[in-house]
Structure 1
Amino acid sequence: MLLAACGSGGEAQQKGGGSGGGRGGDGRPKAVGFVTLQTSAVPVTVELAARTVAFQSSEVRPQVAGVIQRRFFTEGSFVRQGQPLYQIDPSLYRAAANEARAGVANAQATFEAARVRADRFRPLAEAEAISRQDYTDAVATQRQARAQIDLNRAQLDTARTNLRFTTVPAPISGRIGRSLFTVGALVSTSQADPLATIQQLDPMFVDIQQSAADLLALRRNLASGGVTPASTTVRLKLEDGSDYGRTGTVEFAEVVVDQATGTVTLRARFPNPDGLLLPGMFVRAVFSQAVQQNAFLVPQAAVQRDPRGSATLFVVGAGNKAEQRTVDATRTVGANWVVTKGLKPGDRIITQGLADLKPGAPIAPVPAGTPQRVVPPSPEEMKKMQAQGQGKAGGGR
């Protein structure tokens, strides 16, 4: 009967002429349901726009000029680092390598002749059979021949490197896109377009955009001690609204603010073994940046708004009377308001029987969700009800 009065208190007051808000028509205190509050740590969860980015991306470019003779890969396939992708005509570079090799051999022969000449001049110079200048010139010629060998060997290394560059390898492992050049095309080191692009898709980066103002407010709260840092776990919502089955972690945050958008980029890393995430997808990132300490979770049914927009609620006051309080409730978590000011641990918040409830009204508090108990009327109440029924019947004659 106590809970039955939660829904019928106002009607009984109108019919029975009760003395004030909160009492039923029979003068009994209005029954209300309450919950007892305790402080808890509430995560500060945000949902922000984000975009997927390849973990690694590399453009395949030629390092020598020439005509493409062959292509060794299938577009869209997975390639491994070092795998040959293109073959550029090596004829000119092979000839240059052979020429450099011959130059090395020629320099070695010149050096050998200069060395023998210097060795022969040495005893003659000591015996003063020749001038010392002739011996000095012979030694200098020997050193020049040695330097020429080193120069020709460097030219040979360059020629061999260019010859090796005629086979274009994959710079990284990943999924290769379409080929922008076909067999027979002339390519060069200064061309604007790459031959192809390789992207590594597992793992995958997700760039999250957050307002600089929100990030500044968060850092101030962390500095004041009102909140503590949360874990770096991130969940994703895909473009179709479904949840991505795997979680990621925040790697870092940019140290600059984008002048065009006023946002800061946070980068998260996600596993992508199935290849479901593709570069350039728009997603929503959901994660907790901090944990708000000593907050109260109040059921939304208990919180009301006054004409000024302030959040108010009723608590069970002293003497079992309704007490109205103004609280600070700025956000929700599930079916509850997060209240940070205006309450203290142990407060009993009224969540049921709020209809026509006024401050200071006497109430009969019971725990919220208590099942109703139907009690039959006493013999005295039955006699009173029969007498009232007979009086009404006589008045109508």
Structure 2
Amino acid sequence: MKILKYILIAVFVLGALFAAAFFIKSNSKSPITFKTESPFKTNIEQKTVATGKVVPEEEIEVKPQVTGIIEKIFVEEGKEVRSGDLIAKIKVVPNEQSLNGARGRVRNAEITLRNAKIDFDRNKDIFDKGVISQQDFQNIQLRYDQAKQELQNARNDLQIIRQGSTGGAQAITNIRASVSGTILEIPVEEGDQVIQSNNFNAGTTVATIADMKKMIFEGKVDEGEVGKLQVGMPLKVSLGAIEDQEFEAKLKFIAPKGNEEQGAVQFRIEGDVYLEENFYVRAGYSANASLVLDKKEDVLAIKEALLQFDKETNEPYVEISTGDQTFERRDIKTGISDGVNIEVLEGLVEGDKIKVWNQTEPKKKEGEDDDEAGEEVAD
């Protein structure tokens, strides 16, 4: 009986040891079987994207030369006009103080002319009798002619203040287009008061005109990329309002001074956009411009997601397969990147197998154990 008892105890101990060994072996196995990928040859373009909008190259603001009230507007926004076309009519409302001063100057000129005429008539009779010299008479005649001219000038000034011009009796001034193009905006309405453009006042804008066939891209780039740009570089401009269409453009301006926006320094850029006739582009469309900063063809590359970085030196490295699910670290040197693929300068060859290190453990299906789930990620 004692021998049987010892045999049972031995079997129990051996079973426990076997179960413990199986449990340790099962848990020592990684739940993830890592995939591997190899380097490949490809073309890489390093790009940057500038956000902005498409606007006309030139926008001309039409302003009145007299102060008054808009009596009638003859055009609408979006209408094509030619240089000289009538845009609006202004009814002049004279300033009361200026009007009163102009009337006073006219009366003074009339008084001066009347006295000059009396003096001229009296001295003409004396000159005809030979009492005064010809030079004295010419001086008197000069004052008379100047008085007549002064009265004419005063009357013209009064008419300008009343009517806006000396060309007619009607108190209306025409506003005409100064260039050919499209009416972009009419910020005034009939009945609005407008102020003339002069040396001390920019004046009221009656209409804005632009040539919609000459459009430019206005955008901003970060200071970290502006140093790589050069005037004349090609751009690809895509518009938010026109899907699946890119327009060719050429960089023509890079701002010499940047502006800080939300903690980053941004530099303004401009590029001529080459429009296609079958697309109508409106002023102010939001746009993105893609610029190629660097390009390399047929270079050795890997997916950028395969890279790992040393915590202390921040240098890139990858893990290379040396056997069945065994890997070793290998430091590499990288070149340009397009955000998906990155050029490899040193450290790898095409046949290397690189660990896809950022895999996640697959979700177990109902009734599936860890070994079965791990096999789904096998190479």
TM bracket (short chain) = 0.5 to 0.7
Q: Is 1:151 paired with 2:153?
A: yes
Aligned to 2:343: 338
Distance in 1, Cα, partners of 2:180 & 2:223: 36
Output aligned runs, 1:30-179, within 5 Å. Answer: 44-89=46-91, 129-130=131-132, 134-135=136-137, 137-142=139-144, 144-145=146-147, 147-148=149-150, 151=153, 155=157, 159-160=165-166, 166-177=173-184, 179=186
Q: How does 1:1-397 map to 2 (within 5 A)?
A: 44-89=46-91, 129-130=131-132, 134-135=136-137, 137-142=139-144, 144-145=146-147, 147-148=149-150, 151=153, 155=157, 159-160=165-166, 166-177=173-184, 179-183=186-190, 185-189=191-195, 194-216=205-227, 218=228, 231-239=232-240, 242-260=243-261, 262-272=265-275, 273-274=277-278, 276-288=280-292, 290-291=293-294, 297-300=299-302, 304-308=306-310, 310-312=315-317, 326-329=332-335, 331-332=337-338, 336-339=341-344, 342=346, 350-352=349-351, 354=353
Change (3 A) 1:302 1:257: closer
Q: CA RMSD in A?
A: 5.1
- 8 Å Cα contact 1:53/1:279 also seen in 2: yes
Contact 2:47 2:338 in 1 (8 A): no
1:210 Cα offset (Å): 0.9
CA distance in 2, matches of 1:136, 1:245: 80
Cα distance in structure 1, aligned partners of 2:232 and 2:77: 40
User: Can you list the C-alpha shifts for 1:227-256, whole angstroms capped at 9, x where unaligned?
Assistant: xx5852111122268453431111211222
Percent identical among aligned pairs is: 14
Which amino acid is the alignment partner of residue 170 of structure 1? Answer: A
1:36-84 per-position Cα deviation (integer Å, ceiling 9, x unaligned): 99xx9x7643212122222222344433344544332244322222210
CA offsets, 1:323-359, max 9 Å, x none? 95521335237x74234x548xxxxx52235268xxx
Do 1:235 and 1:244's aligned partners in 2 also have CA atoms closer than 8 Å? Answer: no
Q: Name the amino acid aligned to 1:285.
A: A
Structure-2 separation of matches of 1:235 and 1:36: 26
Work out the CA distance in 2 between the residues paired with 1:303 and 1:324.
Answer: 16
Amino acid across the alignment from 1:268? G
Compute the TM-score of the two structures, normalised by the length of structure 2.
0.55
Partners of 2:156 and 2:166 within 8 A in 1: no
C-alpha distance after superposition, 1:348-393 (max 9, x if no partner): x52235268xxxxxxxxxxxxxxxxxxxxxxxxxxxxxxxxxxxxx
Q: TM-score, normalised by structure 1?
A: 0.53
Q: Secondary structure at the match of 2:214?
A: strand
Deviation at 1:283, TM superposition (A): 1.5
CA contact (8 A) 2:91 2:171 kept: no
Unaligned runs of 5+ in 2: 1-36, 197-201, 321-327, 356-379
Provide closer, same or farther for how the CA distance between residues 33 and 304 of structure 1 changes in structure 2, counting only shifts above 3 A.
closer
Q: Does the CA contact (< 8 Å) of 2:215 and 2:272 recur in 1? A: yes
